[in-house]
Amino acid sequence: MIDINNESGTPVDEQHLQALATFALERLRIHPQAELSVLLVDEQTMAAYHEKFMGEPGPTDVLSFPMDELRPPQDGEDPPEGMLGDIVLCPTVTAAQAAENGRSPESEQDYLLLHGLLHLLGYDHAEPGEKKAMFALNDALADAWAAR
């Protein structure tokens, strides 16, 4: 189940985000009943979350809060069920940084939703090897979504 709640004050195509999340979860072989919450917030709210949970000032683009630490299954394993967790996106921040990354505001938001989802699934980019693997998967999912 994917729940999307837009509290950002910015118009967002919630059906599009739900379709993207569903697509990515299917590609990653996560159980269709796994629970995911996506919250879209304004910059002030995101700045408060960023400070509270990461100790960093100012708003950021995406934050992820994993719940059951679900992971993509290995070959031959059943897809995991449970609560994936919460992704918090700030549409005004993602739109503002889109051009720097060579993407449209919508594509940037899509990319960051996927990025947040990968964090929920245990991917990280603190170390060079982890970063390479995470961003390669993020790019592959974004490319597959664009090519569908």
Just give the CATH number of 2-147. 3.40.390.30
Could you tell me the two tokens for 102?
A: 């060579």
Angstrom distances, CA of residue 63 to CA of 37, 88, 111, 120: 12, 5, 13, 10
Q: Looking at the DSSP assignment, which residues form a beta bridge with residue 39?
A: 5, 88
Instruction: For tokens 């729940």, name the residue.
Output: 3
pTM: 0.94
What confidence tens digit (pLDDT) does each residue in 66-92 have? 998 888 888 888 887 889 999 999 999
pLDDT of res. 79 = 87
Query: Can you give the residue ranges of every domain in the chain?
Result: 2-147
Instruction: For tokens 């509270």, name the residue.
Output: 52
Per-residue pLDDT of the chain (148 residues; tens, 9 = 90+): 899 999 999 999 999 999 999 999 999 999 889 999 999 999 999 999 999 999 999 999 999 999 988 888 888 888 878 899 999 999 999 999 999 999 999 999 999 999 999 999 999 999 999 999 999 999 999 999 999 8
